[in-house]
Amino acid sequence: MFPSLPPATRALILVNVGVFLLQQLFGTRFDQLFALWPLGSGLFHPWQVLTYAFLHGNITHIFVNMFALFMFGGALESLWGPRRFVIYYLVCTLAAALTQLAIAAQEPTVGASGGIFGVLLAFAWYFPRQRILLLFPPIPMPAWLFVTLYALLELYFGVSGRQQDVAHFAHLGGLLGGALCILYWRARRRFGH
């Protein structure tokens, strides 16, 4: 089934997995160069606003992110084409990084989650009634409801300070970046969906 994925979605998954393997090989020095470090840390570099999204904290972290990209990215790439899909994904990734730096950056940030949250938003936007079956609890719900509840949960965790090892504001930044990107494209009438 993996070969049937559209090319950009497949490439993003393969690049993420490849970088994760390099991260395991090179360890701390790799993270120091490519994770998103807080502005005042002395370790921040401008390229980190994109490179952080290709690093992951552990095997579960990358699996969950790549599974979401596998599940939802292909539909969006089929709708938009590979170029527009990659641009959208990178806009969400960048928006997530900037939000994290502006609001909550105290430790380095890694992971594709900001881009993934943007993908989830776009999927719910264009396929709102598509049923999503959660693994836990196993409750089917329409995509728009799933993304709305997930966003509210992220906002709650971010504001309350729970789960401090998760970049909740980066997730919200990915959602915001995705919404702004779609609205901009619609205003420019670049596609008729």
Q: Indicate the burial class of 157 (C-beta count within 10 angstroms; 0-12, 13-18, 19 or more).
A: middle
Q: Using 50, 70 and 90 to split pLDDT, how confident is the model at 132?
A: confident
Q: Using 50, 70 and 90 to split pLDDT, how confident is the model at 122?
A: very high
Max avg pLDDT among 123-127, 164-168, 183-187: 123-127
Residue 106 located in a structural domain: yes
Cβ neighbour number for residue 185 with a 10 Å cutoff: 16
Residue 192 located in a structural domain: no
| Residue 135 parent element (H or E) | none
**How far apart are the C-alpha atoms of 190 and 10, rounded to whole Å?**
25
Count the domains in the chain: 1
- For residue 16, give the CATH number of its domain: 1.20.1540.10
Across all residues in the chain, what is the average pLDDT? Answer: 90
Q: Using 50, 70 and 90 to split pLDDT, how confident is the model at 191?
A: low
CA distances from 71 to 1, 91, 106, 182 (A): 11, 20, 32, 20
pLDDT given for residue 45 in this prediction: 95
Residue 193 located in a structural domain: no
pLDDT given for residue 153 in this prediction: 87
Closest alpha carbon to 86 in 118, 121, 130: 118
Q: Using 50, 70 and 90 to split pLDDT, how confident is the model at 1?
A: very low
* pLDDT one-digit tens code per residue, 157-167: 888 877 777 88
Range of the domain at 122: 2-187
